[in-house]
Chain A
Amino acid sequence: MPTVLIIAEQQPDGSLRKATLNAIGAGKQLAEKAGGELHIALVGKDPAKVADELKGTGAKAVHVGAAPELEHYLAETYAPALAALVQELKADYVGMASTAQGKDLMPRLAARLRAAMATDVMAFNGGGADITFTRPMWAGNVFAEVKLTTPVKVFTLRATEFTAAAGGGSAEVKTFTPKVEASKTKFVDFKEVKSARPELTEARVVVSGGRGTKGDFKEIEALADDLGAAVGASRAVCDAGWVPNDLQVGQTGKVVAPALYIAAGISGAIQHLAGMKSSKTIVAINKDPEAPIFQVADYGIVADLFKVLPELRAELGKLK
């Protein structure tokens, strides 16, 4: 019976990275299609707490490997630890959410397993032994159906395309001793960009600003706070150093799919659209009626964002 292994991710503070639940949701789907079994793997210095959270997500087993050498995430130490587990479980499919860590780790793990890999998988097709993956190319201009022909198949998952796994079953938690290898790379430090707002990829509402803001994000932030929303940005704005890189939405930034995406002063270049086109409702605020963003927006308003945003806040206030 095919085995699907999903790798869980811990935040630097030790908590579970939410996108893991979407990856597990995807793993469940794949296991059903392949007629197989879902397992979860988790390694780190002290992953036991998080393992508990994963028990009720519908997997057969949660495999937990702890070692002091795995305190700080490094592809170089995590890949051998996980590769040994993949081999022991004889896993056929190995997946993880397409987070920065997923994108750093999975190709290294795949290389160790001499496996082919697909990045940012959005859907599984087919069934049984004949499973193919749908993934985006050319900034989401093309959806490709790809088949991996190596015995082990590795992939990262676009979290926004899969629903989060929730309550179901009570998986067995199994501990294993991770294989530890010396690393030529040392962790030095991690500087977190702290924000009181929700995480961009998890927020129900995202308010994004582009070059049209000229770097003045006060109105964007105020609206975001009124709506309990996350703040996003186009690359132009991050490149200018106006907001942290971390807020970039797009092909080479973060992929979001909130219930509501408000784009203010963003032209709608294909690279930006690649990161937000799956949002449920899109609102565009732009001075230029020809801006490409209007082609994907459900509701567009042709006007100056500095006039629209305060009005919008006032009008939304009336709803309460």
Chain B
Amino acid sequence: MKILVTAKRVEDPESKIKVKPDGSGIVQEGLKYKINPFDEIGVEEGLRLVAKHQGEVVVVSIGGKEVQEQLRHALAMGAHRAVWVNHTGPLDQLAIAGLLQKVVEKEKPDLVILGKQSIDDDQNQVGQYLAEFLGWGQATFASKVESAESEQEKNKVPALVVSADGKSVRVIREVDNGLATVECQLPAVVTTDLRLNQPRYASLPGIMKAKSKPIEELTPAKLAVDVTPAIQVLKMSAPPARKAGIKVADVPALVEKLHNEAKVV
């Protein structure tokens, strides 16, 4: 089975994000970058499925030269090959999904795994756009409540189960008020939620091996996709600050404030 997984480059979630005074973007100095946490979960899930069903995991990232770092990270985790769509400048969801569609048509994977959302733009769209562009089934927010703290949780039924005949995948999805299960004919698009799995660390031999694994370079021109953005980010600003609160000495003081000042109890 061939699994295509996306690996977007994003700011480390621990970073302090500040808006530039002119509102044109965020301050880049001093920021660290990572693979989008949801995508790292996608790589892990791909590797587990391939361990069970044979095949290969191909990772793809779209962006400037620097996204090769995220591709190498995925290769060090164990992905087999990488595809880099080289493009600098803004890309909206239509463009990203359009480029991924062309990569999918070229690679013909059985399954595409993306993150449910990227932690910078927080859009939660690309997987769904891609599924529609391809005319495939989609299962978003795949989740299994894998807990690091308990063996029992770890051993629960995985959220992604490929059928014995290899023709479909059953996915447990995290939705409001519960868990939904759907079955998608393969090929299909799945997006990951946070609790799907605990991604492995890249081992030292893995990191060494990753250096010699191939990264294929493509461009929007080679893929014949028009990437003119249909979304314009006009201005960024810091959200209004909450006014500083106070610390109260004890519980009676707290209740007094809640009752008489905030009038919420």
Residues of chain A touching chain B, judged by Cβ–Cβ distance below 8 Å, are 11-12, 74-76, 79, 99-101, 103-108, 110-112, 114, 116-120, 132, 136-150, 183-193, 199, 201, 205, 227, 235, 238-241, 245-246, 251-252, 254, 259-260, 271, 277, 280-283, 289, 294-302, 308, 311-312, 315-316, 319
Contacts and interface: CB of A to CB of B under 8 A. Distances in A.
Contact of A138 (B119, B136, B137, B246): B119
A315 B183 contact: no
Given A103-B124, A260-B262, A148 B231 contact: yes
Interface of B: 11, 13, 17-19, 26, 92-94, 97, 116-117, 119-133, 136-141, 143, 145, 147-150, 153, 170, 174-185, 188, 193-195, 230-239, 242, 244-248, 250-252, 254-255, 257-259, 262, 264-265
Contact of A298 (B123, B176, B262): B262
B149 A245 contact: no
10 contacts: A110-B125, A117-B93, A138-B119, A147-B234, A190-B179, A190-B181, A295-B242, A298-B262, A311-B251, A312-B251
B185 A184 contact: yes
Given A104-B128, A111-B132, A146-B231, A296 B262 contact: no
Contacts of B247: 289, 294, 299-302
Among A110, A111, A254, max chain B CB count under 10 A is at A111
Contacts of B97: 111
Contacts of B254: 283, 299, 301, 312, 315
A101 B255 contact: no
A315 B255 contact: yes
B239 A139 contact: no
A184 B255 contact: no
B236 A142 contact: yes
B90 to A, nearest CB: 11
B177 A193 contact: yes
B194 A239 contact: yes
B147 A120 contact: no
A319 B265 CA distance: 9
A142 B19 contact: yes
A104 B233 CA distance: 23
Given A141-B239, A316-B265, A116 B255 contact: no
A186 B183 contact: yes
A186 B117 CA distance: 23
B258 A260 contact: yes
B231 A108 contact: no
Given A147-B232, A245-B195, A251-B122, 11 more contacts: A74-B182, A110-B125, A142-B17, A185-B139, A190-B180, A193-B177, A246-B174, A271-B13, A283-B258, A296-B242, A302-B247
Contacts of B143: 245
B150 A142 contact: no
B31 to A, nearest CB: 11
A235 B194 CA distance: 9
A281 B230 contact: no
Nearest to B153: A241
Contacts of B19: 142
Nearest to A193: B178
A108 B140 CA distance: 11
Contacts of B136: 184
A107 B125 contact: yes
Nearest to A246: B177
Contacts of A259: 264
Contacts of A312: 251, 254-255
A138 B26 contact: yes
A238 B145 CA distance: 8
B182 A186 contact: yes
Contacts of B127: 107
A159 B120 CA distance: 21
B248 A108 contact: no
B69 to A, nearest CB: 20
B137 A185 contact: yes
A114 B242 CA distance: 39
A194 B10 CA distance: 36
A272 to B, nearest CB: 12
A299 B265 CA distance: 14
Contacts of B176: 99-101, 201, 246, 254
Contacts of B193: 245, 252
Contacts of B94: 111, 114, 116, 150
Contact of B128 (A108, A120, A141, A298): A108
A280 B181 CA distance: 36
B258 A132 contact: no
B199 to A, nearest CB: 13
B119 A251 contact: yes
Contacts of A142: 17, 19, 26, 236-239
Nearest to A253: B194
The list of the 6 closest CB pairs from A to B, nearest first, reads: A107-B128, A241-B147, A111-B132, A185-B137, A184-B137, A107-B125
B149 A240 contact: yes
